Amino acid sequence: VKKKGSRYEKAARPVKQAAVLGAGIMGGGIAYQSASKGTPILMKDIKDDAIELGLKEARKLFAKQVERGKLSTEKMAQRLSNIRPTLSYGDFGHVDLVVEAVVENPKVKEAVLTEVEAEVGEQTILASNTSTISIDRLAANLKRPENFCGMHFFNPVHRMPLVEVIRGEKTSDAAVAATVAYARAMGKTPIVVNDCPGFLVNRVLFPYFGGFSLLMGQGADFARVDKVMEKFGWPMGPAYLLDVVGMDTAVHAGEVMAKGFPERMGSLGGEGQSSAIQLMYENDRLGQKNAKGFYAYE
Ligand code: NAD
């Protein structure tokens, strides 16, 4: 954990203009957060309707702040204008840092990163918001891997304070410094971690999900487990959290972790394993995204 004023920040090149690729759940959230804290950001997607949705979400979040009296309507308009939606790389020549937040598919990410690297300046930092793909793998095809790192936000971006800054084998100190400083400018708490399956947070979270799954296999009542964890002081229990994360995402991440650490996390999704989470997934109970998970949603 790097405290404020660490060597990372002292060496930081400020991010005056940012960009995000993808205007989905995460990209839209990242654009909102950057704009809200005063760093202008280009928000690029390949679909018009995705951009519309991203902007709509941002408007909604700003409007909530106005409603609560935390922001004037003039300030809201000004902050909203920090987000510049686009379908092209036209203005990417002047961007200091690009966060890549397109779909979690290594081939798509590799193609998008190669594409954007050709459009930006030599000093521009590229940072991927991937949850499960190795940063070194994504760096492999880049011409300037030293300018590349991970910048892993959590959902919902505007509420979750932590950002993992992932240092790949070839990532330079300057790239880490700029990314840490940008995360801080966004009002977040960055931690610098090495590249490994699950980075830091998911390496802690998935054994917890694994333990929960084992309890389910032994006949425990998920709603009771949730209540106990809430009484313990956590904002939500594991069943509800899995509904938020989505069973498909959890199964996929579990598989990545099981492959990365078979001796410790094999039971999270190794072949032939049938966990409660997997059973939910196989029965199309994906969580909030399709309104049925451990709980039912309207
Ligand atoms: P999403 O499906 O909501 O959004 C992805 C967006 O990328 C879509 O709008 C799509 O049109 C766009 N896109 C696809 N190809 C593109 C391209 N070539 N150029 C520009 N845009 C393109 O996905 P999401 O949930 O926002 O996830 C995005 C990334 O963030 C993934 O890598 C995911 O693993 C990671 N992540 C997700 C969460 C989460 O809880 N959803 C949390 C942390 C990290």
Tally helices (H) and strands (E) across the chain: 13, 8
- Supply the DSSP string of 206-267, one letter for each residue: HHHHHHHHHHHHTT--HHHHHHHHHHHT-SS-HHHHHHHH-HHHHHHHHHHHHHHSHHHHGG
CATH class in words for 201-287: mainly alpha
Supply 12's token pair. Answer: 């930081």
10 Å CB burial of residue 244 (0-12, 13-18, 19+) is middle
Q: How far apart are alpha carbons 179 and 187 in whole angstroms? A: 13
pTM attached to this predicted model:
0.94
pLDDT value, residue 264: 78
Strands 148-152 and 162-167: antiparallel
pLDDT value, residue 11: 66
Length of the chain counted residue by residue: 298
Q: How far apart are alpha carbons 196 and 186 in whole angstroms? A: 25
Of the candidates 94, 152, 158, 252, the residue annotated as catalytic is 152
Instruction: For domain 7-194, give its CATH number from 3.40.50.2000, 3.40.50.261, 2.70.150.10, 3.40.50.720.
Output: 3.40.50.720
Q: What is the atom index within ligand 1 of the atom nearest the CA of 130?
A: 32
**Beta carbons of 49 and 79 less than 8 angstroms apart:** no
Q: What is the pLDDT of residues 221-263, one digit of tens each?
A: 999 999 999 999 999 999 999 999 999 999 999 999 989 988 8
Question: Where in the chain are all domains bearing CATH 3.40.50.720?
Answer: 7-194
Q: What is the pLDDT of residues 123-137, one digit of tens each?
A: 999 999 999 999 999
Please check the confidence at residue 120 and state whether its pLDDT lies above 90. yes
Q: How far apart are alpha carbons 262 and 74 in whole angstroms? A: 54
Question: Where in the chain are all domains bearing CATH 1.10.1040.50?
Answer: 201-287
Closest CA to 255 of 240, 263, 265: 265
Higher pLDDT, 66 or 275: 66
Q: How far apart are alpha carbons 49 and 28 in whole angstroms? A: 12
Q: Which DSSP letter does residue 290 get? A: G
Q: Give the distance (Å) from ligand 1 centre to CA of residue 124.
A: 21
101 CB less than 6 Å from ligand 1? yes
3-state secondary structure (DSSP) of residue 134 = coil
Q: What is the pLDDT of residues 147-182, one digit of tens each?
A: 999 999 999 999 999 999 999 999 999 999 999 999
Specify whether 152 is catalytic.
Answer: yes
Order across the sheet with 18-21: list the strands: 83-86, 41-44, 18-21, 97-100, 125-128, 148-152, 162-167, 189-194
Q: What is the pLDDT of residues 95-119, one digit of tens each?
A: 999 999 999 999 999 999 999 999 9
> To test the ligand 1 pocket, which listed residue (21, 26, 49) has its Cβ within 8 A of the most ligand atoms?
26
Q: What is the atom index within ligand 1 of the atom nearest the CA of 112?
A: 18
pLDDT value, residue 13: 86
150 CB less than 6 Å from ligand 1? no
Supply 22's token pair. Answer: 């993808």
